[in-house]
Structure 1
């Protein structure tokens, strides 16, 4: 791993743990054991570093998704695996990070949301078509419309003002919101698999 990638990885961890406003370039230099001069040779300023950290996060997400796709036998198994990797602690860190990003670095936040939304829209549509080929998702649905609904459901359940984690765990939201919706667009074969995975993951 080269020095820039190491800095991005360590800095992203700092931003997630402490918040993007609190972390300074001094903190980043100290965490990585480098001088500020070296840091500024690689990144113009904190905003540049923050934006590149988010780009690094996005690449990591794509690689991780690809690995889970390889390890899953079907769409519904993939859905449950994605859920299993998202603990309440991780979700809370991401929520706080993006809330701060929106408040203090809105241009970066706006660009990030647009980029992530395009990616999620494309992947969700791809997964739905995969589910149809596997006989798990009903054929008679509007893929574009269902994709938008699923993305909005994801946005809502990750909204801390609507669903505070102290009141609603990730597991509860997944079972009561995500799974119920997927049951509605699943074939009988898909519903049977959902029930099977629910029993396994109790």
Structure 2
């Protein structure tokens, strides 16, 4: 039952937002009493914490699986992007912002974990790209890995990127192309162009 609660709560939080969803909402969705939820979770904060950790573990496992394939570094970036989008939906309710505002301790802990995961992944990607002649060997790896993380996080800012103008899928596509073009060699640009041409472009508006 604990896993069922986490699974359904995660879906509701991502769809409606962490603040918007109540324990009553979750209980009604599952067809159980609110008391049953409290048997497994002391309060809503504990449930929110469990759902964020579960989602992070799931995405982390997926990213590790992609990295282990040792694909072309540029293709790897796009595969990871697709994985993240599939798990996080389009974030129409701005759950990331709600988590930051109403559950700051959980938000800061999650952000720290996200940085650790993403930094290691990006650094490895950059090193492989340089070795393969796809990325310029003059790039500053430590700087780019941090800028990459900061930029990806900023895409979730709905004041900067309102949903009426940008979907999360389009933002991710725009930024990744921007990132890769900035570090590629002519050889890498050919790979990037091939990937972009083979993509099924999302409805951006």
Q: TM-score, normalised by structure 2?
A: 0.83
Summarize the Cα distance change of 1:29–1:110 in structure 2 as closer, same or farther, 3 Å threshold.
same
Superposition deviation, residue 148 in structure 1? 0.9
Superposition deviation, residue 172 in structure 1? 4.9
What residue number does 2:46 align with? 48
Distance 2:104 2:20 in 1: 16
User: Pick from 2, 13, 20: which aligns with 1:4?
Assistant: 2
What residue number does 1:189 align with? 187
User: Pick from 65, 71, 79: which aligns with 1:73?
Assistant: 71
Distance 1:172 1:35 in 2: 40
Distance 1:84 1:118 in 2: 20
- Within 5 Å, give how 1:69-108 maps onto structure 2: 69=67, 73-85=71-83, 86=85, 90-93=89-92, 96-108=94-106
- Within 5 Å, give how 1:1-202 maps onto structure 2: 3-69=1-67, 73-85=71-83, 86=85, 90-93=89-92, 96-170=94-168, 172-174=170-172, 176-201=174-199
More divergent stretch after superposition (54-63 vs 101-110): 101-110
- Report the 3-state secondary structure (helix = DSSP H, G, I; strand = E; otherwise coil) of the residue aligned with 1:149: helix
Distance 2:169 2:155 in 1: 11
Distance 2:173 2:50 in 1: 35
Specify every segment of 5 or more residues in structure 1 that has no aligned partner in the other structure, as ranges.
none
Superposition deviation, residue 18 in structure 1? 2.1
Distance 1:164 1:147 in 2: 25
Aligned length: 198
Distance 1:154 1:30 in 2: 35
Residue pair 2:99, 2:106 contacting (<8 A) in 1 also: yes
Q: TM-score, normalised by structure 1?
A: 0.84
Distance 2:167 2:22 in 1: 32
Residue pair 2:123, 2:141 contacting (<8 A) in 1 also: yes
More divergent stretch after superposition (7-16 vs 25-34): 25-34
- Deviation digits for residues 160-193 of structure 1 (CA, Å, limit 9, x no counterpart): 1112232234465445443133122112221110
Write 1 or 2 for the structure with the bigger share of helix: 1
Let me know the Cα RMSD of the aligned residues: 2.4
